[in-house]
Amino acid sequence: MMKIRKSQISFIVVILLCIVAFNACKVGPNFKANRNKIDSVAVYRYDSLKLATQDSVLNISWWKLFNDPVLDTLIKIGLAENKDVLIASSRIEQAAAQLGFNNADLWPKFGYSAGATRGNVIGGQATPGLATSNMFTGFGTLNWELDFWGKYRRSSEAARAELVASEYGQRTVQIGLISAIVGTHYLLLDYKWREYISRKTLELRQESENIIQARYDYGIVPEIDLNQAQIQRAIAASAVPLYQRQVAQTEHALSVLLGRSPGPIHTGVKLEDQQLPPDIPVGLPSLLMERRPDVLQAEALLHAQTANVGVAVAQRFPAINLTGLFGAVSSDVSTLNLNPAAFAIGGSLLGPLFEFGKNKRRVEIQRRKTEQVMYEYERTVITAFQEVEDALVEISTLKDQRLARQDHVNAAKNALRLSRERYDKGVTSFLELIESQRQAFDAELSLSETTQQLFNGYVKLYKALGGGWLSEQEQNDATLQN
């Protein structure tokens, strides 16, 4: 059997202790999140509740506030089948594999080598007078670049931060998808309601035209009244296919968001019967940086890029490599394990000396990239503040606008009723009735659009706040952690 001397063991132990000491060093800047650097107001400008210390949006699945089971089903389908979500999930797996790939560089690489030769060559020179002989070898190999400067640890740090960024990226995609599904759902309800209004208006105008046609046939009204009635019927008739087309196209868009081929979408409660969700506290602006997944993703990417600076700095220093062989050599395979152990341990130092500033510029490139990512992070935070403020003012003003639209509809319908009575009694011209019909039609369409915009204002707010559990499992896990 091969025998290992005590001196060999001692030498190996000394080498390993040196390795542990060497690995304590890690060059380059350490990342430190500095969220206080970004200015933010104390409270949001249009936060009507002003409950800055409360933050219930973090603890709810916000889309359930709309109280629409059909919408809940659409969201579940989208989260399970949407292609962008599946791509984001795959990126997490890729980032995890990349982290494992980078971590492998921290450890020695073990291999093996075996060979068999026959000849009369010694030291690369032929020796004709020497008898032909055999040589059999078997070795285990070791190759280890000591991470003295922290190059590989910084690389693993960057990969770990990118893994975190990919997880936040997935959540960003999921929240964006939920918002898109809810927003498109209400747009679909809007178009369906406008199509219904158009059909109802067409029926009324068709009845009106029939009455005017009969009156014209008996010579009671002039031909201009008949033409005007025909124009109004045609206007309503042209609106029906317009909204039919928009309904179909919106259904197709929603189908793609669900990860399915374009097709019809079943809807539940009509737009006019939908209940507005309750107002919720939006919390402190400073809390937004701690929960918006796109902000946290940008912060993780900044961490990764900061670690890459350390990798570049470490490349300016020499690489320290440890190599080793341990095995046996014999002229006969049968005695390979009976000979004394053959081993070799060596080290090498390889580093840059003069490369016309290339290594220095490499570090400068990574520092500039870090600066750019930092600005992108700050821009993401500022944009997040803007989106919350915009959503708050949108909800506030659309509520007032919707009330005005409702008053407009009520007044227009009453004016239409009075104009019809006045025309039937011969008190006013047909032009007054036409104008009243037009105003009532436009008022109903505008009310539908404003209602849809108000619902989507809430969608924008919840998306901008970045909160809400995406599943019951996620909420349960968070509860257990707390």
d(CA 49, CA 465): 15
pTM for this prediction: 0.84
**Which range in 349-353, 381-385, 397-401, 476-480 is most confidently predicted, on average pLDDT?**
397-401
- CB contact at 8 A, 423 and 429: yes
| Phi, psi (degrees; rounded to nearest 5) at 118 | -145, 130
DSSP E strands, 97-214: 109-119, 121-122, 125-126, 133-146
Provide mean pLDDT across the span 277-292: 79
Q: What is the pLDDT of residue 342?
A: 78
d(CA 309, CA 305): 7
Q: What is the pLDDT of residue 16?
A: 56
122 strand-pairing partners? 125
Q: What is the pLDDT of residue 2?
A: 42
pLDDT category at 345 given cuts 50, 70, 90 is: confident
pLDDT category at 3 given cuts 50, 70, 90 is: very low
Q: Say whether pLDDT at 121 is over 60.
A: yes
Instruction: Give the angle subtended at the CA of 401 by the CAs of 400 and 402, to the nearest 5°.
Output: 90
Provide mean pLDDT across the span 13-31: 66
Hey, what domains does the chain have and what are their CATH numbers?
A: 1-30+109-146+318-351 (2.20.200.10), 33-107+149-316+356-481 (1.20.1600.10)
Contacts of 77 (CB under 8 A, 6+ apart): 258, 259, 260
DSSP 8-state code for residue 437? H
More confidently predicted of 2 and 334? 334
DSSP 8-state code for residue 328? E
pLDDT category at 216 given cuts 50, 70, 90 is: very high
pLDDT category at 291 given cuts 50, 70, 90 is: confident
**Which range in 95-109, 343-357, 445-459 is most confidently predicted, on average pLDDT?**
445-459
More confidently predicted of 278 and 9? 278
pLDDT category at 52 given cuts 50, 70, 90 is: very low
d(CA 164, CA 170): 10
pLDDT digits (tens, 9 = 90+) for 415-437: 999 999 998 888 888 889 999 99
Q: Say whether pLDDT at 35 is over 80.
A: no
Provide mean pLDDT across the span 270-298: 85
Provide mean pLDDT across the span 2-13: 51
Contacts of 309 (CB under 8 A, 6+ apart): 28, 29, 363, 366, 367, 370
Q: By C-alpha distance, which of 190, 150, 181, 215 is closest to 82? A: 181
pLDDT digits (tens, 9 = 90+) for 167-210: 999 999 999 999 999 999 999 999 999 999 999 999 999 999 99
Which burial class, exposed, middle or buried, applies to 319 when counting CB atoms under 10 A from its CB (0-12, 13-18, 19+)? middle
- Least confident residue range of 17-21, 157-161, 319-323, 384-388: 17-21
- CB contact at 8 A, 48 and 171: no
- CB contact at 8 A, 263 and 444: no
d(CA 26, CA 15): 20
Percent over 70 (pLDDT), the chain: 84
- CB contact at 8 A, 198 and 236: yes
Q: By C-alpha distance, which of 277, 272, 275, 279 is closest to 449? A: 272
Percent over 90 (pLDDT), the chain: 59
- CB contact at 8 A, 120 and 128: yes
